[in-house]
Structure 1
Amino acid sequence: MYGLIVNKASGNGKGQRTWKKVEYELQIRNTPYLVRFTSGSGHATTIVKELLTEGVKTIIAVGGDGTINEVANGLVNHRVPLGIIPAGSGNDFARCLNIPMHYEKALHRIFENKQKKVDLLHLGQRHCLTVTGIGFDGKIAKTVNEAIYKNWFNQFGFGGLSYVLSMLEVLKDYRPTNIQITVDGKELFFSGVWLVAVANSPNYGGGIRICPEASYDDGLLNICVVHGMSKWQLLRLFPKAYKGKHVVMEQHVTLLTGKDVYVQSDTPVLVQSDGEPIMESPVRLQIKKGALSVV
């Protein structure tokens, strides 16, 4: 029996529309299932615990990266795998796993039950699937989530534009800071830092390839530090990041790898994880090898 966790509100209602199609497919196939609907932040993780007591063999998340993050946090180190049917605005985790964006193809993949182990990024009390962004990045995530235009863009299938508009809005007033990063015990100092991205997969923000070499199963964290540039240089750099071409600017973009990362700043800056603002710096991040099973 499958357990489904559906966020009807994800993607400005895309979750609801996708669920109705999935429901029809399950019914015509006579596939046994239990379904639960989220009602707010953190609820999906609670639902996971309930479904695990029902003996489900797979838990399927229907929603965006935020919903998938919450379900994954409930499944860490469990034998029950995670199935994903993308229904958000960014769908970055599904993208990096090559999960089809079409609900029927995604469902077929789940039925094939070919499990793979996926690393997770650990932040003390929670896990991250894709990228944790510190600084400019964290402020953008907060602005995106509060923006009225996010729903408008999601409605017409242009969720990535919400990130672009929010970036421009934050850029007007944001000031870079000095940051100390400790990677596997080695201390590094950077001045004029715009953002630090710690990645378990290449993409975030609806397709930005911030750490092109990141892989969800290599047991490593990839780190991108953007520093020492003006806001106009940053603005010119931004489009290149969609193809991962920003990394050639070695004077202003520093790439690192490690398994244990500690980031502290002169003044506290916002931290986002899988697109959700969660805390302020300082923050410690560790890789957890093969902590999640995905079908």
Structure 2
Amino acid sequence: MIRIHFIVNPIAGHGNSSLTNEDLEPYFIKGVHQLTIKVSEYKAHATILTQESITENAHIIVACGGDGTINEVASCLIGTDIALGILPMGSGNGLASNLKIPKNRRKALEIIRDKHEERIDVGRINDRYFFSNTGVGFDASLIKHYESSEKRTLLGYIRACVLTFRDIKKNDPLTISINDELPMSSPFIILISNSNEMGYKLSLTPKASLQDGMLDVLVIKKIGRIKMLWLGFLILIRKVQWLKESKSFQTKTIHLQRPQALFFDTQVDGEHHRIEKNILTVSLLEKSLCVLTAK
């Protein structure tokens, strides 16, 4: 018997996501698959439900939601043989898109049923994990605005961009140390990617791969408002490299430091997190998560 547990975030996407046994039964085999549905009720509840499913000897645990829900579920499965399934129900669905898992429910459930496993890399920022990307600077501010928006859509994302452009102030002092290189001061954005999508098919690191054993880093120096608008356009057409203030490279480890502050505002897989430390270490755990993907 293959035990499959579904962890559902009911407010993912447009806030009306649901899943019932009647939805699932047509795609699985009675007597072969044992299905369990659990519904999260608050932020980080999906983590608790996943830990319970692990103790209940689930073979597959399916994150039903967006990148935030996937992060909560997948963070519990790192280093185990339990496979992560994904049923995209969020607004952006960056990781699912990168893994070529469609939003179409029937096709996504067939991927889970067929149980084709692959192992992918996982990023770690201090004691948190990320699967798509993490960042500080502009994108962290953008996510703060987006989370406060009533519209979890592409339009809401664009509106959050406009608000972030409007409200941005002088950058706090920021020193970035990349391995043994000379430090940079006050960059506009630092994005560290494990995958090549941020959601809505947008990408700042189009060459990033979940299986190459490397993190793709984009650093953009301090820029003015006109250049910010230009950057927004370049993001939409996936040509960030056209901005001369941008620098891209690959690494396994990167250290960020804010000598004059006690915290970092970050985004981790599209959700805002304040990390109460002034030093961040971002590293990679190679092929440490088992996921179900299309053949």
Q: What TM-score results when the alignment is normalised by the length of structure 2?
A: 0.89
* Deviation larger for 260-269 or 87-96: 260-269
Aligned AA for 2:256? V
Secondary structure, aligned partner of 1:15 = coil
Kindly indicate whether the alpha-carbon contact (under 8 Å) linking 1:46 and 1:74 is maintained by their aligned counterparts in 2.
no
Q: CA deviation at 1:102?
A: 0.5
Per the TM alignment, residue 13 of structure 1 is displaced from its structure 2 partner at its CA by: 2.7
**Matched residue, 1:200:** 194
Root-mean-square deviation (CA), in Å? 1.8
Which residue does the alignment assign to 2:24? 25
Q: Please name the residue that 2:242 is paired with.
A: 248
- How far has the Cα of 1:242 moved from its partner? 3.0
Structure 2 stretches of 5 or more lacking a match? none
* Aligned residue in 2 for 1:228: 222
Q: 2:283 aligns with which of 283, 286, 289?
A: 286
CA contact (8 A) 1:14 1:88 kept: no
C-alpha deviation, 1:239, in angstroms: 2.3
- Note if 1:185 corresponds to 2:180: yes
Contact 1:160 1:205 survives alignment (8 Å):
no
Structure 2 Cα separation of the partners of residues 123 and 269 of structure 1: 11
Contact 1:76 1:292 in 2 (8 A): yes
Three-state SS of the structure 1 residue aligned to 2:248 is strand
Kindly indicate whether the alpha-carbon contact (under 8 Å) linking 2:94 and 2:200 is maintained by their aligned counterparts in 1: yes
Q: State percent identity of aligned pairs.
A: 27
**Deviation of 1:124 (Å):** 2.3
Moved more, 122-131 or 172-181: 172-181
Cα separation, 2, equivalents of 1:270 and 1:136: 10
Q: Contact conserved, 1:183 with 1:259, CA < 8 A, in 2?
A: no
Secondary structure in structure 2 of the residue aligned to 1:137: helix
Matching residue of 2:149: 147
Q: How many residues are paired up?
A: 282
Residue type of the alignment partner of 2:220:
V
TM-score normalized by the length of structure 1? 0.89
Contact residue 14 and residue 87 of structure 1 kept, 8 A? no
- 1:81-100 to structure 2, matched below 5 A, reads 81-100=83-102
1:60, 1:83 within 8 Å by CA — same for their partners in 2? Answer: yes
Find the partner of 1:237 among 231, 237, 261: 231
3-state SS in 2 of match to 1:75: coil
Q: Which moved more, 1:206-215 or 1:64-73?
A: 206-215
User: Does structure 2 retain, via aligned residues, the 8 Å contact 1:116–1:293?
Assistant: yes
> Judging changes above 3 Å, is the alpha-carbon distance between structure 1 residues 185 and 23 closer, same or farther for their aligned structure 2 residues?
farther
How far apart, CA to CA, are the structure 1 residues paired with 2:10 and 2:227? 40
Given the alignment of the two structures, is residue 108 of structure 1 paired with residue 110 of structure 2, yes or no?
yes
